Structure 1
């Protein structure tokens, strides 16, 4: 198992893709920390002006430090798709399964590697966001770490990125065409789901019983970010983490099951 995991890490970290995405996720974390730092500490936000994002000091700090998480999980979703999509595209899946004949072991190695990659990119993102965000919160007269819940949210963000990578893995297996998998995965996460969440705000049953179980809503609940509106209904952080883990387990689990039984040449 260890050699298979090492091989998966080597496949990723010996390409130019990893450091390009590392630079991107670092800059995104820093840029969004600066943006949310000024936005959420403005007079309108702090005074609770209607239409402004609402949240306490902990939620403000979480949103400042994790404002770039939206970009981060899209990048990890992309990495998850590429980690298996590249195998099919370049016909290396055969050699991968020949070097690790037990297919379940080979796929579990990808799962472990993607969770590790999620942690690496999460730390890189936090390096940019916390360094910039803490300075801005100090300058704006806010406590950079108002409670231990902020540290919990930062730690959980690493788990969130790993789970989104597994969601990408499942999409990449279920849609063997790499380009189609990327377009569908990113399109649903970035465009379709936000539009559905917006539509749910006009439907009471959907707002209270469906929207909170969507992947993006669950992600925001895990890290306890500010609420977009006072009417937003959220799960507890642990329940949201279980929901997100459920999506990752369902997609990657079904994809792994399919891979272990598919004819691959």
Structure 2
């Protein structure tokens, strides 16, 4: 069999593993539900008392509609970690490595399937959030987000990319750490605790640099559609920072996967 054939076979094998696990579909549903519901709750909190003249309200309604990503990313992390650590927990990783000796091909196949599932569910969640935001904001007289506008389209596509890169970070961490609890805790701390710690720094310059380096703060800059000059980092530069974390996690995981025993 050619290398391409083996690669497709590895992808099919990983797809079969993930789709037959109930946890996969529950976590994808959680990603969609948390993203939409939390975003709708945040959007609904914007009332006339906050902006007496809704048409002149200087609120980033697109970013507000996509607030639920803060919760949805947690489901992505758990799914990504289980994609690899689940096999170490059950011991089936030995069978996987025996069937496919080229370990990096296994990691690449898992990454491909994980990215496809995450991107699909994220797209549903993002579009659902923007639709909910549009309905809620229009009802109160606020300017509603529409994908016909360039900044809104960039924020929507960028958010899907953000969640997909988050999944790759989780996969890389799980490959390196092997243990589900350790990997999930480490990645969630990186996304949730890092920004909080950055905000506690006393020196404004250090605080600004930490916010640029924090994966969540940097990556979610892609959602901003107004006041871009006030961001600690630009939208696409922030995604580049997040991509750097994903590459580092996958490279580290890939190296350790090759050199360690199963």
Q: What range describes the TM-score normalised by the shorter chain of this pair?
A: 0.7 to 0.9
The alignment status of 1:20 with 2:18, answered yes or no, reads no
Corresponding pairs, count: 251
Instruction: Report the counterpart of residue 247 of structure 1 in structure 2.
Output: 245
> Residues 178 and 132 from structure 1, CA distance in 2 versus in 1: closer, same or farther, beyond 3 angstroms?
same
Answer whether contact 1:22 1:124 (CA < 8 A) is retained: no
Q: What is the rounded CA distance, in whole Å, between the counterparts of 1:225 and 1:193 in structure 2?
A: 24
TM-score between both structures, scaled by the size of structure 2? 0.86
Answer whether contact 1:26 1:127 (CA < 8 A) is retained: no
Instruction: Report the counterpart of residue 43 of structure 2 in structure 1.
Output: 37
Instruction: Report the counterpart of residue 109 of structure 1 in structure 2.
Output: 109
- Equivalent positions of 1:46-125 (< 5 A) are 56=58, 59-64=60-65, 66-125=66-125
Instruction: Report the counterpart of residue 258 of structure 2 in structure 1.
Output: 260
1:27: Cα distance to partner? 2.2
Q: What is the rounded CA distance, in whole Å, between the counterparts of 2:58 and 2:87 in structure 1?
A: 46
Answer whether contact 2:100 2:106 (CA < 8 A) is retained: yes
1:151 pairs, out of 145, 148, 153, with 153
Q: Name stretches of at least 5 consecutive residues in structure 2 with no aligned partner.
A: 1-6
- What SS does the aligned partner of 1:210 have? helix
Stretch moving more, 87-96 or 175-184: 175-184
Answer whether contact 2:28 2:118 (CA < 8 A) is retained: no
Instruction: Report the counterpart of residue 126 of structure 2 in structure 1.
Output: 126
Answer whether contact 2:61 2:145 (CA < 8 A) is retained: no
> Residues 242 and 128 from structure 1, CA distance in 2 versus in 1: closer, same or farther, beyond 3 angstroms?
same
Aligned-residue CA RMSD in angstroms? 2.4
1:252: Cα distance to partner? 1.3
1:45: Cα distance to partner? 5.8
1:79: Cα distance to partner? 1.2
Q: What is the rounded CA distance, in whole Å, between the counterparts of 2:13 and 2:190 in structure 1?
A: 31
- What SS does the aligned partner of 1:44 have? coil
> Residues 242 and 187 from structure 1, CA distance in 2 versus in 1: closer, same or farther, beyond 3 angstroms?
closer
1:7: Cα distance to partner? 1.7
The alignment status of 1:193 with 2:199, answered yes or no, reads no
Q: Deviations over 1:101-149 (max 9, x none)?
A: 2111111111212211220220231243123211101112123236321
> Residues 232 and 193 from structure 1, CA distance in 2 versus in 1: closer, same or farther, beyond 3 angstroms?
farther
Structure with larger RCO (C-alpha < 8 A, sep 6+): 1
1:46: Cα distance to partner? 7.2
Q: What is the rounded CA distance, in whole Å, between the counterparts of 1:236 and 1:188 in structure 2?
A: 20
Q: What is the rounded CA distance, in whole Å, between the counterparts of 1:171 and 1:41 in structure 2?
A: 41
1:175 pairs, out of 174, 177, 195, with 177
> Residues 225 and 215 from structure 1, CA distance in 2 versus in 1: closer, same or farther, beyond 3 angstroms?
farther
Q: Deviations over 1:167-215 (max 9, x none)?
A: 111211222222222233224433x213213213x32111222212211
